[in-house]
Amino acid sequence: MQKIDTRTKCLFCRIARVVAPPPKLTISEWADLYRRLSSEASAEPGQWRTDRAPYQREIMDALNDDEVETIVVMSSAQVGKTELILNVIGYYVHQDPSPIMLVQPTLELAQAFSKDRLSPMTRDSPELKKRMTSAKSRDGGNTMLHKSFPGGHITMAGANSPASLASRPIRIVLLDEVDRYPVSAGTEGDPVTLVSKRSTTFLNRKRVLVSTPTIKGASRIETAYEESTMEQWCLPCPSCSDHQPLDWKQIRFDDASMVCKHCGAIHSELEWKASTGRWIARKENSKVRGFHLNELASPWKRWSTIIEEFREAKRGGPETLKAWVNTSLGETWEEKGEQLDEDILLKRREMYHADVPDGVKILTAAVDTQDNRFEIDVMGWGAGHESWRIQYRVIYGDLKQPQVWTDLDEFLQRTWTDAEGRKFRIAITCMDSGGHFTNEVYRFCKERHARRVFAIKGESPGDGTYLPLIAGTSTNNRYKATVVRLGVNEGKSKVMSALSLSPTDEAGNKVQGYCHFPLTTPDKNRGYDRQYFEGLTAEALQTRYKMGSPYQVWVKVRTRNEPLDLAVYNRAAIEILQPNLDLPLPPMREEPAATATPPQTRQRRRGTTSSV
């Protein structure tokens, strides 16, 4: 009888272990026990260790606080913010099953997150693998963008896709890279607000907003952070023990050290990071905790590397410096000088001693298509994207007639010569396909594809959606011509940043990306007159609001803006081509002795080159 009681007792013990709820863990404790980093998504695959980047612990564990409803993380790159989101997902799948939604800026990015980040984590973390079925299974509730598990599900959506944000009750809302969201999801309003409303029926709802910031005054994450506890990661000074944030202004460039703002002591990166840090709040807010991180806190980035990247970004001009401020300091960039002065640019013109000045490595061309003319701008490019305007040409004619197209073709095939006698041809052309002659442009470009004459289609979303300058390509037209989609807002920002550069910095060093313009001389009119500069500065950057959300847009302040459009197309051309502009030009080769040319050869050459 005693033997039977013992066996029964063991049976009940085993049953209890199976049905008992898991121990109550914080998210960081869960990650340290159960999360495995995948080799394709991490440089340090294997068991997760929160101590590797201790600032992550408080951010994750804040979600376990019943009082806290929203977490805001405004950060640089290289601090592990995507891994934080993955840990949150893993915890709620395993420990507290709930309906979850993760929103990326676009549906394509949501698919990439599911495939490249979530699936590897699920595969390599055994407790998650047991609970989440494979996307290849026949489970009808499991797709690339929707995965079910016992007690809950996770949906991945794009902020640009109202359908993917369709109404369903969501307890855990994860919003990634919110500064890249459009101002409105279709006509339904701000996607952050739209998705947040999905969780209103849950008293224990949680919301996480994560992003690298962008432009001051139009940054969602900065606005959210300023409405939170505004916490900073602070380390104690090795000398006086006073905690302080890792501030870029206190970094010494000569030895990659930091000065204590309290006692003035100087310590190395290793000395600062050897101490135990803590988050210090600057405001009180019981429901919204906000955290700011920059790359100086990262265990994966040395201060010496950050300093060198800053120097390189500063040499590259405002556009590269803006990217550095956003992605390294995790701070917004404040745009200065919203509209350039045409008189300043007009006075900057300089004398060229040849058609192609010294420093030019390659030529690009841009063509704007109007009903009664083509406007063409030829630009030269050198190291560091330094640029020289070469010639601005307008070809008038009836675009319904072949002659004006022939004139354009001849111009695009001509050559320009430098002081040493080198002949330069146009390496790539971007041609506007908008207006009333779209099919004619497609046909023209298709026939000249081998010469890299590409049709372009500019896109400038009025809802503030971010598009990179090179936004994609398509051949979906009757001629199967390659059409390059351009994010013209990003292009105009790059052009205006380059135009605002000075030739040298405060120390007298040459600034990368400076723009040169030629003087008009009695014997040569290159086309860069006052009217050109008025067109180049014909737009200004303005902040507007849609459904209460700020966004920035380029607005015409003058009627004609073709020179600005052409500057964007030329910038796109050099980015499509991606030549190595740091390579020196090859040495001049001696021309062979002149020989008689057969008449048929002369005729063929006459059809492919012309002088203007």
CA distance 34 to 90: 9
Residue-level pLDDT at 511: 82
> Which string of b and e fits 419-428 if b means at least 16 CB within 10 Å?
eeebebebbb
Give a yes or no: residue 333 inside a domain: no
- Choose between 38 and 213: higher pLDDT: 213
Residue ranges making up the domain that contains 286: 15-230+281-293
Average pLDDT, stretch 174-201?
83
Residue-level pLDDT at 592: 46
| The residue to which tokens 């205006």 are assigned | 496
Instruction: Give the best-scoring range by mean pLDDT among 185-194, 217-226, 421-430.
Output: 421-430
Write out pLDDT tens, residues 290-324. Answer: 999 999 999 999 999 999 999 888 877 777 888 89
If asked whether residues 486 and 520 sit together in one domain, one would say: yes
Are the C-beta atoms of residues 190 and 197 closer than 8 Å to each other?
no
**Residue spans of beta strands (DSSP E) within 142-256:** 146-149, 152-158, 172-176, 206-211, 231-236, 243-245, 251-252
Residue-level pLDDT at 265: 94
Are the C-beta atoms of residues 252 and 245 closer than 8 Å to each other?
no
Q: Is the pLDDT of residue 330 over 70?
A: yes
Q: Which of 15-19, 138-142, 198-202, 235-239 has the lowest mean pLDDT?
A: 15-19
Q: Which residues 6+ apart lie within 8 Å of 572 measured at CB?
A: 430, 456, 469, 470, 484, 486, 491
* Relative orientation angle of helices 488-499 and 562-577, to the nearest 10 degrees: 100
Instruction: Specify the DSSP class assigned to residue 286.
Output: S
Q: How confident is the model at residue 45 (pLDDT cuts 50, 70, 90)?
A: confident
If asked whether residues 387 and 506 sit together in one domain, one would say: yes
Residue-level pLDDT at 12: 64
Q: Which of 403, 402, 399 is nearest to 369 (CA)?
A: 399
Write out pLDDT tens, residues 91-132. Answer: 999 999 999 999 999 999 999 999 999 999 999 999 999 988
Residue-level pLDDT at 540: 84
Q: Which residues 6+ apart lie within 8 Å of 16 measured at CB?
A: none
If asked whether residues 245 and 197 sit together in one domain, one would say: no
Residue-level pLDDT at 126: 92
Residue-level pLDDT at 89: 96
If asked whether residues 162 and 268 sit together in one domain, one would say: no
Instruction: Specify the DSSP class assigned to residue 13.
Output: H
What CATH code is carried by the domain that includes residue 151? Answer: 3.40.50.300
For residue 8, the surrounding DSSP H or E stretch is helix 2-19
Residue-level pLDDT at 545: 65
What CATH code is carried by the domain that includes residue 449? Answer: 3.30.420
Q: Is the pLDDT of residue 10 over 90?
A: no
The burial of 500, by beta-carbon neighbours within 10 Å (0-12 exposed, 13-18 middle, 19 or more buried), is given as middle
Give a yes or no: residue 593 inside a domain: no
Q: Which of 11-20, 84-93, 470-479 has the lowest mean pLDDT?
A: 11-20
Give a yes or no: residue 442 inside a domain: yes
Q: Is the pLDDT of residue 53 over 50?
A: yes
- Choose between 378 and 180: higher pLDDT: 378
Q: What's the mean pLDDT when you consider all of the chain?
A: 87
Q: Which of 67-81, 318-332, 493-507, 560-574 has the lowest mean pLDDT?
A: 493-507
If asked whether residues 173 and 254 sit together in one domain, one would say: no
What's CA 113's distance to the chain center, in Å? 16
Q: Is the pLDDT of residue 236 over 90?
A: yes
If asked whether residues 149 and 207 sit together in one domain, one would say: yes
Give a yes or no: residue 596 inside a domain: no
| The residue to which tokens 């159960």 are assigned | 34
Q: Which of 29-38, 396-405, 517-526 has the lowest mean pLDDT?
A: 517-526
Write out pLDDT tens, residues 584-606. Answer: 888 776 544 434 343 343 333 33
| 3-state SS track over 427-496 | EEEEEECCCCCHHHHHHHHHHCHHHCEEEEEEECCCCCCCCCCEEEEECCCCCCCCEEEEEHHHHHHHHH
Instruction: Give the number of domains in the chain.
Output: 3
Write out pLDDT tens, residues 126-142. Answer: 999 998 865 454 555 67
Q: Is the pLDDT of residue 473 over 50?
A: yes
Q: How confident is the model at residue 1 (pLDDT cuts 50, 70, 90)?
A: very low
If asked whether residues 387 and 352 sit together in one domain, one would say: yes
Write out pLDDT tens, residues 495-511. Answer: 988 998 888 877 778 88
Secondary structure class of 31 (helix, strand, coil): helix
Give a yes or no: residue 407 inside a domain: yes
Residue-level pLDDT at 546: 65
CA distance 583 to 361: 8
Q: Which of 259-273, 338-352, 412-426 has the lowest mean pLDDT?
A: 338-352
- Choose between 80 and 504: higher pLDDT: 80
If asked whether residues 109 and 217 sit together in one domain, one would say: yes
Give a yes or no: residue 161 inside a domain: yes
Q: Is the pLDDT of residue 326 over 50?
A: yes
If asked whether residues 400 and 442 sit together in one domain, one would say: yes
Residue-level pLDDT at 288: 96
Q: Is the pLDDT of residue 609 over 50?
A: no
Q: Which of 181-185, 254-258, 398-402 has the lowest mean pLDDT?
A: 181-185
If asked whether residues 189 and 265 sit together in one domain, one would say: no
Give a yes or no: residue 336 inside a domain: no
If asked whether residues 475 and 501 sit together in one domain, one would say: yes
Q: How confident is the model at residue 399 (pLDDT cuts 50, 70, 90)?
A: very high
Residue-level pLDDT at 9: 65
The burial of 66, by beta-carbon neighbours within 10 Å (0-12 exposed, 13-18 middle, 19 or more buried), is given as exposed
Give a yes or no: residue 36 inside a domain: yes
CA distance 230 to 196: 21
Residue-level pLDDT at 216: 83
If asked whether residues 264 and 287 sit together in one domain, one would say: no
Are the C-beta atoms of residues 479 and 451 closer than 8 Å to each other?
no
Q: Which of 55, 101, 431 is nearest to 243 (CA)?
A: 55
Secondary structure class of 601 (helix, strand, coil): helix
